[in-house]
Structure 1
Amino acid sequence: MSHRVADALGYKDMDNISAASSRHNSENLPYVHKVGVPPKQNLLKEIAGTLKETFFADDPLRQFKDQPRSRKLVLVFQALFPIFEWGRNYSLSKFKGDLIAGLTIASLCIPQDIGYAKLANLDPQYGLYSSFVPPLIYAFMGSSRDIAIGPVAVVSLLLGTLLQNEIDPSENPVDYLRLAFTATFFAGITQFTLGFFRLGFLIDFLSHAAIVGFMAGAAITIALQQLKGLLGIKKFTKKTDIVSVMRSVWSAAHHGWNWETILIGMSFLAFLLVAKYIQGKKKKKLFWVPAIAPLISVVLSTFFVYITRADKHGVQIVKHIRRGINPSSLNEIFFSGEYLAKGFRIGVLAGMIALTEAVAIGRTFASMKDYQLDGNKEMVALGTMNVVGSMTSCYVATGSFSRSAVNYMAGCNTAVSNIVMSSVVLLTLELITPLFKYTPNAILASIIISAVISLVDIEAMTLIWKVDKFDFVACMGAFFGVVFSSVEIGLLIAVSISFAKILLQVTRPRTAVLGKIPRTTVYRNILQYPAATKVPGILIVRVDSAIYFSNSNYVKERILRWLADEEEQLKESSRPGVQYLIVEMSPVTDIDTSGIHAMEELFRSLEKRDVKLVLANPGPAVVDKLHASKFHEMIGEDRIFLTVEDAIVTCAPKMDLEP
């Protein structure tokens, strides 16, 4: 055997290989590869390597290597503001696509923003403000080409619910608005901090199933909240759970419903749903139909109310929307006092939800167009835009799925579509806002209902049920928590179940008994492969997880239970007992001191049963720790093998292995 092969197998001593090879050849046995020991690592290097893999897995500094100082400064500037990197290759043809996309999403965002501001219990202009400044900042700092920035329904509802728990917006509107700006400021700080310190992996702890359930529950809650505007109810509950909302709706049935409002709202809701249906049938070709349908609804309903003066007959209207661009709100933020801590708590929660939604949307469209999305850059961009937004009368903005989908289908090429949208919102604030005076609230309710319906993803829920029942429990827990309690309770349930799943998988890892696939040297789970047969006198168990303090006792006890079950079956059939127990350790990526201690206890328990412990294919980290703890001396150097087949050949050289 060559030294190169020896190095590949992890051997340090060529003479040992030759001796081992000669011994096996003289005994007419297949050559058995021994498991090599990786070189010792310096503690600081090991810690540095772990930290690098955790926080800098994408190696963000690789582009700066071997670059002159001036070039490094340019690269740093481009890293902070990606627009100056892709902007060098920007062309008129790309601008045409961005212009059409920007105008299209602007027609969608303007009526949505007015409605979403009401979800947050804010005046309509604050929704428009939040689609002016944040998209401009994101266009310069964001790395997604497709995401459309602005207020979104879920975050607006969450923010409105949490804020009104602290301050009544009708009794103290000034402090309520200030607390909203404070929460937005801390939402931005949270997002920026996660991106700057590369802690974005934390949002991955909220599972996909929990997000699906949370979004669906929030969509139902938002839709129920719109019954106030859709039915023309004046006195409505401030609670968001379905029981309180339906009680409020039915209690107003005798005197609080307005038939003119219902007629307007239901008619245009049907129009919006038909527009969505048409686009769904024709796919990308008619993307503009549901995009401009909300604006058409606003224009037609406003004109209808104005000429009929339906507002005199109980139809509630938007009334005044302040004209002009965003005023400064820096002095409105609570940097001290009793509301500082409350704003911080609300901001962190809203910021995390907004971040989760934006990153999920960005990744979805990035994969569709086959480009890489830098998650940490996204967080820094989102955080910066919300910090600046809090100082310019905006509340929490993030990526909107409905607008991003329209942006994508309209043919956007870059983030310039956000600049176009922002410019249209600017013109709206300066010139058009007085025209919204007679816009009926029922239309805004219809627009919001039609927008959030898509958040109830029945197909995704069905798939979750088919794939993983525990995931489905997490999904339904989040869903029912939001619908029957509150948004924050639903979120808490979603996070709790996600963590419970992680803990369950860590503390109770899977194990399996392996058998040999006929006419091969492959060993697989006997439950998955019925043709796999057990080797007489040998029990092969695979552990499908790292062995840590949290699961080491369970792994030891589970292996002993497998052994007890096997010996009981052998005893009943009057066959010889187990002589060797082989632990297949290829899935065991790591082991700690508690794991080593559990393996020592397992070894001693097997000794009492006159069963020999054998290890197969331990990874480098495991082998290193087995040697550091001297466990290899306890078990014996000749009991650690590269493969299960090698272990079988050595443990039972005279046995006919072919079934």
Structure 2
Amino acid sequence: MATERAKNLGKRIVEYPEDQPSVISSKDWVHNLARDPKDFAVQYLRRLFPILGWITRYNVGWLTGDIIAGLTVGMVLVPQSMSYATIATLPPEYGLYSAFVGVLTYCLFATSKDVSIGPVAVMSLQVSQIIKYIDQKHPNEWSGPEIATNVAFICGFIILGIGLLRLGWLVELIPVPAVAGFMTGSAINITVGQVPGLMGITGFDTRAATYHVIINTLKGLGRTKKDAAFGLVGLFFLYAIRMTCDYLTRRYPRRAKMFFFISAFRSAFVIVVLTFASWLYTRHRKSAKGTYPIKILQTVPRGLKHVGTPNIDSQLLSALAPKLPVATIILLLEHISIAKSFGRINGYKIDPNQELVAIGVTNTVGTAFGAYPATGSFSRSALKSKSGVRTPAAGILSGIIVLVALYGLTSAFFWIPTAGLSAVIIHAVADLVTKPPQVYKYWRISPLEFFIWVAAVLVTIFSTIENGIYVSLATSGALLIFRLAHPRGRFLGRVRVHANDSNTSHSRDVFVPLANNHVINPQIRVEPPPPGVLVYRLEETFLYPNCGVLNSEIVDYVKANVRRGTDVRLIPLSDRPWNDPGSRHGADSEWEENQSKPVLHSIVLDFSTASQVDTTSVQALIDTRKEIERWTDHPVEFHFASILSPWIRRSLVAAGFGYDYRIQSARPHDVAAIVPYDDPETRSPVSKDVEAVDVEARDSKGTSLYDNSYGAVRRGEAATVQIDTPYFHLDLAEAVAAAEANFLKLSPSTSSHSVGK
């Protein structure tokens, strides 16, 4: 009907002109390079300071949410920071320094309102391993805080560079199960390492491999001290408060907010109670040697004692070099994964590059305050999100609370039992362990990634966190390469699908794999393509790592299912190729079987999933055509469907594809021959086989904007693809129809056998 309407309007035919993209003129490629440098610089600077985009719209409603969230996070941040500093084998005040700088600096560069930057358990564990490594290599040369500060500076500088260069996409190369694997292994490592402190057991290295710590802890149970009374009681009440509040929230949903805040303050509450109990018990029990019956923090310096120019030692940086990659990976991976998670939950999108800038600035600036490496914290970010935070400005209030603690509460910190801090650590890092239902989902979705998770956990537990991360990265990279180098492809057949509703009934052809793939109902009969036609769908992008596999799959299928054009019985054995000698003289059975197969005329390639090609893959496609035509002993049409990228089309045209195969001058030619040879290019001819759609294109006076009388396209229609490359088609159905039509025109009486039937 649309065609009739177009004819009535008297419209002329629209020819789609040849318009190949080029490096010189492509809008997509050159436009970005030709932007005004001034505009580019302005936009770049604006992205560096996201706070400029929301601070001018700040209002009282946002302020209320930020105050509540800032106070809540600040109350948790103080005890957690000191606890994590003990994991890093640093004095507790260094945790407060990192917390103060982290929450204040991040709000200037943040693209996430929920993330809270500061000391975290996994990074603290890695810092302790680095300090141990340097002490073993260079005994007594540098102190722990010096080592930690230098790690923060160089890692922050590296991450800042990655962010400024906009290389944040590198983080996307590491899958979620790999991150979850080493995080789970690290959480188990930290928990096991804190149990001796919880029980007051000493006498062995709690930074050793996890299984060693477990064995030594079990052996040392008889040496349990009074610290256990504080540690175990604190751990019990931490879980008891949370479980009670969770139950009461379900029981009384109207008071859920109240129970949430009670649960949120449980760490601070338990530390306050334990500190008061410790003061009552130990204040009059100091021995002559200056020791107390339980281990307490004792003196915590008041204020910011280490503000100044950081002492960056080049010799120390050289000694740290082997440990810097894994430390950098932990900082950026943990932060980006947390930021992206909360962005998905709360409906906003983060900028990974800007988040890396925030982490980089936080750690480089933090060295001037004596801070050690800081990154995003999962537990505090979750608490901040649930508290109703509205903007990153909530971090300012959290920083003020840390500063107040540094200047006003250090005398109270003296009596904090370290067993209580161990209880806080165990309670916090337990949430980093991947839950069994989530692990089962890994198995259901991708069994190979499940094994990556298992490998990361086991290596982290039985070796070190560093080896766990490297195993995660190596196995993830190997899986990515394997998937890219071993793509799936399917030979397709046709299924007629009928749709009926109350008013209309229509049907359409759907192309599905010929072989059962356990997705299509096996009871449905898939109709093979007509004799002489093959339909193949790539299920991966077509690049150099996988083009050889696709070449072999198509060529092997052709040799197994279509007729060989040359009668090898008539060729002397001495003239036959060594790798394909065929049957011996007089052996007619193979030839008779060959004659029963159909003659191949066309191959239709579905490129709907191919986003890119390269020189090697295009050359492999040329080789595929040559091998097939050597087997059939006559030219074979290659049709391409659903090429949506102009650059893929440009590449195929450059190799000679898309033109009428019957014209010898249009035959594909090598584009990456190892041994060069003379293959002059000629202008490709125009074919009469063109698909068309209805158009309506007129100027203000009603005159047609196009004037063409190309015979293959009816009046009122336009070519959907360039008319001089008729073997490029808009979709698979049209491509198969064109291949069938050409075959019927050339071979009216075809064999009754279908290829691959």
Judge same fold: TM > 0.5, yes or no.
Answer: yes
CA contact (8 A) 1:121 1:169 kept: no
Distance 2:59 2:628 in 1: 73
Distance 1:584 1:119 in 2: 56
Change (3 A) 1:184 1:44: farther
CA contact (8 A) 2:21 2:647 kept: no
Does structure 1 residue 93 correspond to structure 2 residue 79?
Answer: no
Equivalent position of 2:655 in the other structure: 629
Equivalent position of 2:444 in the other structure: 466
Q: Where do 1:318-337 residues align within 5 Å? A: 318-328=297-307, 330-334=309-313, 336-337=314-315
User: 1:290 pairs with 249, 263, 274, which one?
Assistant: 263
CA contact (8 A) 2:150 2:312 kept: yes
Equivalent position of 1:534 in the other structure: 528
Q: Where do 1:52-71 residues align within 5 Å? A: 64=39
Q: Greater Rg, structure 1 or structure 2?
A: 2
Deviates more, 1:264-273 or 1:425-434: 264-273
Equivalent position of 2:201 in the other structure: 233
Change (3 A) 1:378 1:585: same
Distance 2:539 2:245 in 1: 47
Q: Which residue identity does 2:149 align to in structure 1?
A: F
Deviates more, 1:226-235 or 1:582-591: 582-591
Distance 1:414 1:214 in 2: 31
Per-residue CA distance 1:430-464 (angstroms, 9 max, x = gap)? 11012122211111111111111111122322211
Does structure 1 residue 648 correspond to structure 2 residue 736?
Answer: yes
Does structure 1 residue 342 correspond to structure 2 residue 319?
Answer: yes
Distance 1:15 1:82 in 2: 48
CA contact (8 A) 1:190 1:352 kept: no
Distance 2:616 2:433 in 1: 45
Q: How many residues align?
A: 613
CA contact (8 A) 1:105 1:406 kept: yes
Equivalent position of 2:663 in the other structure: none
Compute the displacement of 1:298 (Å).
Answer: 1.1
Equivalent position of 1:263 in the other structure: 229
Deviates more, 1:524-533 or 1:392-401: 524-533
Deviates more, 1:278-287 or 1:440-449: 278-287
Distance 2:407 2:595 in 1: 89
CA contact (8 A) 2:558 2:628 kept: no
Distance 1:16 1:47 in 2: 24
Equivalent position of 1:558 in the other structure: 553
Equivalent position of 2:20 in the other structure: 39
Compute the displacement of 1:115 (Å).
Answer: 0.9
CA contact (8 A) 2:169 2:352 kept: no
Distance 2:376 2:494 in 1: 52
Change (3 A) 1:301 1:381: same
Does structure 1 residue 136 correspond to structure 2 residue 113?
Answer: no
SS at match of 1:447: helix
SS at match of 2:491: strand
Structure 1: tracts of 5 or more residues without a match: 6-12, 18-35, 66-71
Compute the displacement of 1:630 (Å).
Answer: 2.5
Compute the displacement of 1:575 (Å).
Answer: 6.2
Q: Which residue identity does 1:307 align to in structure 2?
A: L
Distance 2:201 2:25 in 1: 66
Does structure 1 residue 417 correspond to structure 2 residue 381?
Answer: no
Does structure 1 residue 616 correspond to structure 2 residue 634?
Answer: no
Distance 1:638 1:87 in 2: 57
Distance 2:274 2:14 in 1: 90
Change (3 A) 1:461 1:562: farther
Q: Where do 1:204-223 residues align within 5 Å? A: 204-223=172-191
Deviates more, 1:399-408 or 1:325-334: 325-334
SS at match of 1:522: strand
Deviates more, 1:645-654 or 1:473-482: 645-654
Compute the displacement of 1:399 (Å).
Answer: 1.3
Compute the displacement of 1:170 (Å).
Answer: 12
Does structure 1 residue 151 correspond to structure 2 residue 184?
Answer: no
Change (3 A) 1:576 1:630: closer
Compute the displacement of 1:184 (Å).
Answer: 0.2
Equivalent position of 2:474 in the other structure: 496
Per-residue CA distance 1:609-658 (angstroms, 9 max, x = gap)? 3273422213422221122123442269554443333333333345999x
TM-score between both structures, scaled by the size of structure 2? 0.75
CA contact (8 A) 2:49 2:108 kept: yes
Equivalent position of 1:276 in the other structure: 242
CA contact (8 A) 1:149 1:398 kept: yes
Distance 2:323 2:190 in 1: 19
Distance 2:508 2:52 in 1: 58
User: 1:315 pairs with 278, 282, 294, which one?
Assistant: 294
SS at match of 1:87: helix
User: 1:393 pairs with 370, 373, 376, which one?
Assistant: 370
Compute the displacement of 1:566 (Å).
Answer: 4.4
Per-residue CA distance 1:90-117 (angstroms, 9 max, x = gap)? 2233222211211111111111111100
SS at match of 1:414: coil
Deviates more, 1:481-490 or 1:155-164: 155-164
User: 1:605 pairs with 623, 627, 643, which one?
Assistant: 627
Compute the displacement of 1:348 (Å).
Answer: 4.3
Distance 1:646 1:192 in 2: 51
Change (3 A) 1:599 1:385: same
Equivalent position of 1:306 in the other structure: 279
Q: Where do 1:449-528 residues align within 5 Å? A: 449-458=426-435, 459-518=437-496, 519-526=507-514, 527=517, 528=519
Distance 1:47 1:93 in 2: 43
SS at match of 1:165: helix
Distance 1:392 1:595 in 2: 54
CA contact (8 A) 1:241 1:485 kept: yes
Compute the displacement of 1:171 (Å).
Answer: 6.3
CA contact (8 A) 1:149 1:397 kept: yes
Between Structure 1 and Structure 2, the one with more helix by share is 1
Per-residue CA distance 1:244-298 (angstroms, 9 max, x = gap)? 11222133234x322x222321221121122333454438623223321111111
Q: CA RMSD in A?
A: 3.3
Q: Which residue identity does 1:332 align to in structure 2?
A: N
CA contact (8 A) 2:604 2:739 kept: no
Q: Which residue identity does 1:549 align to in structure 2?
A: Y
Change (3 A) 1:300 1:625: same
Compute the displacement of 1:332 (Å).
Answer: 2.5
Distance 1:419 1:134 in 2: 10
Distance 1:483 1:573 in 2: 63
SS at match of 1:521: strand
Compute the displacement of 1:493 (Å).
Answer: 0.6
Does structure 1 residue 188 correspond to structure 2 residue 156?
Answer: yes
Q: Which residue identity does 1:271 align to in structure 2?
A: F
Compute the displacement of 1:381 (Å).
Answer: 1.8
SS at match of 1:355: helix
Compute the displacement of 1:314 (Å).
Answer: 4.4
Compute the displacement of 1:510 (Å).
Answer: 1.2
Change (3 A) 1:465 1:240: farther
Does structure 1 residue 585 correspond to structure 2 residue 602?
Answer: no
Distance 1:497 1:137 in 2: 35
TM-score between both structures, scaled by the size of structure 1? 0.85
Distance 2:241 2:161 in 1: 41
Per-residue CA distance 1:314-373 (angstroms, 9 max, x = gap)? 422222211112522534321x22x11233554443233222222222222223332332
Deviates more, 1:559-568 or 1:474-483: 559-568
Change (3 A) 1:438 1:427: same
CA contact (8 A) 1:187 1:349 kept: no
Distance 2:433 2:29 in 1: 44
Distance 2:621 2:459 in 1: 42
Compute the displacement of 1:78 (Å).
Answer: 5.1
Change (3 A) 1:262 1:561: farther
